Amino acid sequence: MLLERDLIQSVGFRNIREGGEVTGFQLRLRMPSYRGMAASLIDGVAVRVGDLVDVAPDVPLWTFAGRTYSLQELWDADGVRWPLEEAAVVTVPHPGGLPEGTHEVSVQLRLRMSYIPEEHQPSTYDVSRHITLTSAEEGGPFRYGVSLYSFMTDFGTVMDLETALAAVADVGATGVEILGEGHIERYPEPTVEWIDRWFALLEKYSLEPTNYGSWIDTRLHSSGVHARDLTAAEGAGMLQRDLRLAKRLGFRFVRPKIGVVSSDLIPHPIWTESVERSLDLAAELDVVICPEIHAPTPIKHEVVDDYIDLIERTGTKHFGLLLDTGIFQDRPIPLKPGELPGRRPAFMDGIAVDPADIADIAKYVVFIQAKFHDIDENLEDQQIPWEPVLRALKDAGYTGYLSSEYEGERIPWRSIEQVRRQHSLMRSIASRLP
């Protein structure tokens, strides 16, 4: 498991309970030195949280390898170490804990280095950052999950599979969504060892698989003298390969991203036959195929009508709709440095679908990808109007997963805090809905 670059970690910021009472809060700190060291060299950590908490360096408790120490106990200890690869857990006594939401957390960490002259000691590290404290106790009628797509391009560079799953569980989510060819080692034939580790990590972090993302690459052979589109049989083969792998990994839903033939995302004509050839297998595996309604395609569109027609015509229970909340975006995504107006797809300014349209398709919707781009320190989403979206989903009777799909700026580790903010925001709104 890997650590975030910041000294103060996002993962692990939480209230703690003893005997049913909230007695304080915890945060995790990464060793700021280039090496691990004996914990007896810690000279304390002062912690301030906005205007709510301000404690002296000797107040917080320290936890290493599952054992908790006061600062005095650390000074007297032998053999207790703060490894470079493990975060220290710092507990701050504070009856009642902290309110849910984003807080400015400041620490002054003090360490004593034996090879630095004593008159220059302790070495101090003054750091502040905004972190969101989330709670799994409320959240209205919905279930909450996270797509590991949220962590691209962190995944495989500064995050491994366990780091990602730990971040999902830390926000109180219970569901995890993956991309088959994005997160499975040696896809489409993972090793038995990888599969065993997958299930072991799900158990460790109390997570369940939700939606599995797959592709039907209709332009697989689109170059060269023998260029051609995929046949329906070949498309069905791709889909069925992923249905089997998804079932093997415990997933209930499979989202096939089907090749398109127009700018409003009309799927390639083979989609119907490819899906229909696969419905018997989906029923046998008890897996639901669910293509997404994704911007720039609105709810009231022929693509959606065709999906619903297949459901009504076949009577299948194993084909449904996946709704991507990016269609409700009603404010533009800011231009990137050097990006000129008018040089990017218009839908990035938002297609502003009316959330009331959900009512027309609600009975076919089986999964929600909670797409978002940026939530500020006041927990205000800059593009997605969550209150009317969540109200429409609740009024329509949806009680399934809201699966975070962060698609904002890809600064390393930013996605972790953004997902925390989204879960706090969605839970807060959902818990207040009448």
Mean pLDDT by 10 residues, the chain (434 residues): 95 95 97 96 97 98 97 96 97 97 97 90 96 87 98 96 98 97 97 98 98 96 91 97 98 96 93 98 98 97 98 98 98 89 86 98 98 97 98 98 97 97 97 93
Q: CA 227, 229, 233, 235 torsion: positive or negative?
A: positive
Assigned token pair, 24: 């304080």
Give the C-alpha separation, 211 to 145, whole Å: 10
Given the residues 103, 183, 268, 294, the one annotated as active site: 294
Predicted confidence at residue 53, as pLDDT, reads 98
Amino acid at 94: H
pLDDT of residue 341: 81
DSSP classification of residue 126: E
- Among 367, 431, 419, 433, smallest CA distance to 139 is for 431
Predicted confidence at residue 1, as pLDDT, reads: 85
* Helix, strand, coil percent values for the chain (each to nearest 5): 30, 30, 40
Distance CA 418, CA 10 (A): 10
What is the C-alpha radius of gyration for the chain, rounded to an integer number of angstroms? 24
Active site residue 294: yes
- Taking only the tens place, the pLDDT of each residue in 86-139 is 999 999 999 999 999 999 999 999 999 988 898 888 999 999 999 999 987 789
pTM of the model: 0.95
